[in-house]
Structure 1
């Protein structure tokens, strides 16, 4: 947990700034998850009154949007050389992988990002890079935009499920063992039984790559 800052001369609270506020909020997110992150708890961690936070963030949604923008600072858009290939699909896949890793870097990172509408430079760079890759591959403007949305939505949705499965014990929904026991006990679901090793696998990276491959191969038909 972030250590509350010390007070300055004459007992005055330290000067707030949005950067330190976001960093503290992310530290609290990693410590307790999104459900435990409140404006009051954030204010306590910073050693200020809760009302002081509203100077920069009028609502918690505004705070989450700023946090999402900060999370995306870790996303990198590889060039053809950095991606190891001039193939546009390899570069688009690398961008999706980078987004997934950025979201995974913080507890509930995908939940923070989902539904926000940041127009900060990190978010805009991600979108512009992805659309640039697709336009450079020959997609028209409409298809480039739709294709990027499909890849981003897939990545965020997959990571939401991944982070839910990785939640601390007692917080996660049904564990793989619960599914395995239900299917085995019923004995009437032959197709589920045959695929249980995959359905209960915790190799999230493998699942992600499979779906990403389907997406990019599908997009190849429109390139």
Structure 2
């Protein structure tokens, strides 16, 4: 993905600079630049701090001007999610000759990385229903991977939904735990003390895994379970 513009610098160098030129003329909006600016603001303050008013200020326009492109904040988030997934279907397309059991996990990994590349990326993506080319291309690649492997249409669709839901849910937890402004990883000592103080023999025996913050390992295990389950449906 391309690097979003920064918001630093003088009034003539920020993302709204070109809109401010022209001796006081009304700033000219550009949909793509507005989305890029929203992603910059997301990185700076997170999703909770991203408002239409703050975005308008960064663009050098009145808040109402944004509604030309985005009727609601949900519309903006959908456009941001579409932008985030710009490269998410590349692995599946590049590995067209590989077995489905390798291509499908690669697709899930690419989505996870695309969301991790942006602060609160999974929160932005969750619940959006983009019909843009990136999202549709991702879905088409995933369903096509499964149909080409012999899965029927309904199974292919539901399998991709399961993989996407797992990926987004996992990444939500990962970002919530690891972002410096978030609650941080669970305190392993606190969990260990709580477990060992009670009668939880199975938790005690598996504490190293329970307290691990190796999210990549947790993610890979989940993918293996999903692929193994799908093998039984062929």
Measured against the shorter chain, the TM-score band is over 0.9
Distance between the aligned counterparts of 2:172 and 2:56, measured in 1?
27
Please point out which of 144, 169, 175 is paired with 2:156: 144
Residues 1:54 and 2:67 aligned together: yes
Equivalent in the alignment of 1:15:
28
CA contact (8 A) 1:111 1:160 kept: yes
Partner-residue secondary structure (3-state), 2:68: coil
Please point out which of 219, 223, 229 is paired with 1:212: 223
**How many residues of Structure 1 are paired with residues of Structure 2 in the alignment?**
220
Q: Which runs of 5+ in 1 are unaligned?
A: none
Deviation at 1:9, TM superposition (A): 1.6
Equivalent in the alignment of 1:35:
48
Distance between the aligned counterparts of 1:124 and 1:145, measured in 2?
13
Q: Which runs of 5+ in 2 are unaligned?
A: 1-5, 8-13
Q: Could you list the per-position Cα deviations for residues 35-78 of structure 1 after superposition, in whole angstroms to 9, with x for gaps in the alignment?
A: 11111111111111111111110100000000000001021343
Runs of 4+ in 1 over 6 A off after TM superposition: none
Equivalent in the alignment of 2:232:
221
CA contact (8 A) 2:31 2:69 kept: yes
Please point out which of 177, 193, 202 is paired with 1:191: 202
Q: For 1:56-205, what aligned pairs fall within 5 Å after superposition?
A: 56-78=69-91, 82-83=94-95, 86-169=98-181, 171-172=182-183, 175-177=186-188, 178-184=190-196, 186-205=197-216
Question: TM-score, structure 1 length as denominator?
Answer: 0.92
Equivalent in the alignment of 1:24:
37
Deviation at 1:188, TM superposition (A): 2.2
Partner-residue secondary structure (3-state), 1:10: coil
Tell me how large the CA RMSD over aligned residues is: 1.8
Deviation at 1:194, TM superposition (A): 1.5
